[in-house]
Structure formats: structure tokens, C-alpha cells
Amino acid sequence: MNIATIAGSLRQTSTNRGLIRACIELAPEGLTFDTLSIGEPPHYNGDVAARGEPEAVTRFKAGIDAADAVLIATPEYNYSIPGVLKNAIDWASRPAYQSVFAGKKTGMLGAAYSVVGTARAQSHLKQILLGMATPVFPFPEVLVGAAKAKFDAEGNLIDVPTREFLAKFMLAFAGWIKTG
Ligand SMILES: Cc1cc2nc3c(=O)[nH]c(=O)nc-3n(C[C@H](O)[C@H](O)[C@H](O)COP(=O)(O)O)c2cc1C
């Protein structure tokens, strides 16, 4: 089974990119991963869409379409998801309810500096996915709060209990993708 991964931060040393790397390292056997980029699609503009889909959008959508499931790691920006992540999702969400996200099993996790660790961002992301008819992995939730202490300067996850929890999360996520 192939999983398309999306990190909601463009920072080179992003903790959310680090979370995705850790998920890949700790995943059970039998999963393969592709990394999708949210930085390339232009700002969503209906006029641009009407003239023809930008190549970067086509690539992003194809990555989701080809995958058995999607895994999104989102930071929390002002109690929600980053605009750059929402922009890429908005492009991929068309045509409404028949997009590459419709019916595509999706899991999420997130790292943020506050102690509530992306609870508000993930709640918004679930709402967004609901609007695209996307089934969301319900449990366990992964909220990595106080992230500054849990990653090194390169954004690698170094907190051992969090790594152990991620391994369990990936096992459960893989089972859900297989069985629904
Ligand atoms: C514009 C902006 C808004 C932010 N708002 C929040 C917030 O609402 N809650 C929070 O916990 N952290 C907030 N942060 C801090 C982020 O959690 C922190 O920068 C996080 O590590 C970003 O993820 P990254 O390491 O993957 O880039 C904000 C950061 C930025 C740049």
C-alpha cells in the first residue's frame, strides 16, 4: 500500500516534516511512501483554473489519486492550518465531491509549540476533509505539543515516547487503510 504524505510547513527544518519522516521510519512493513509538495501550486484563482490546471496542481492531484491513502502533518497557525496547506487542498478539492480527496482515506498528525499541540488545527482540518467527502482516520490522534523540546535543530523527532507512540499510530493507521 502506498501513502502520499503531505507536510503543512515549507520550512526546511520543519518539525512537521520531521514527523512525516519519523512516520516513514517507524511504519510497519508493506507500506511505501510518496512525498507531495504543497509549495508549488500557485494561489488558488478560479480564472487560472478555468484557463487550464497549472502543472504543479496536476502533479499534486496525481500524487493523491495514485495513493491508497494520504497522511497529513500540519502545524497550527493562529489556531488553524497554514494557508499554504489550505491552498493546496483547495486546488485538489475540485471538482466538488468528486475530487481526488473524495473517498480517499486520510490520517493526520501535527506538531506545534503550544502544549495543546495542533488540537485546534486538526479540528479545522477534519472539518475541511469532511467538506470533501474524505474519510478521516479517527483514533489514535497524534498531537505533539511543546514541540521545541522534542525535535533537534534539523527537525528530527528525538523524543523517545513520541516515537514509540508514532509506531503504534502507524500500525493502527495501516490496519484502518486495509480494512476500513
Ligand atoms: C503564523 C504563525 C502562527 C502560529 N500560530 C500558532 C498557534 O496558533 N498555535 C501554536 O501552537 N503554534 C503556533 N505557531 C507556532 C508553530 O506551532 C510553530 O512555528 C511550528 O513549529 C511550526 O511547524 P513547523 O516546525 O513544521 O514549521 C504559529 C507560527 C506561525 C509562523
> pLDDT tens for residues 34-50?
999 999 999 999 999 99
* Confidence band for 180, pLDDT divided at 50, 70 and 90: low
Mean pLDDT on 42-59: 97
pTM: 0.97
Q: Where are the alpha helices (DSSP H) in the chain?
A: 15-26, 46-51, 55-66, 83-92, 119-130, 160-179
Residue 147 CA to ligand 1 center (angstroms) comes to: 10
Domain containing 15 equals: 2-179
Q: Which of 19, 76, 81, 150 to mutate to test the pocket of ligand 1 (most atoms within 8 A of CB)?
A: 76
Alpha-carbon distance 8 to 2, whole Å? 19
Count of structural domains within the chain: 1
- Output the nine-digit C-alpha cell for 116: 495543546
Q: How are beta strands 2-7 and 69-73 bridged, if at all?
A: parallel
Nearest CA owner, ligand 1 atom 17: 112
Residue 81 CA to ligand 1 center (angstroms) comes to: 9
CATH of the domain at 139: 3.40.50.360
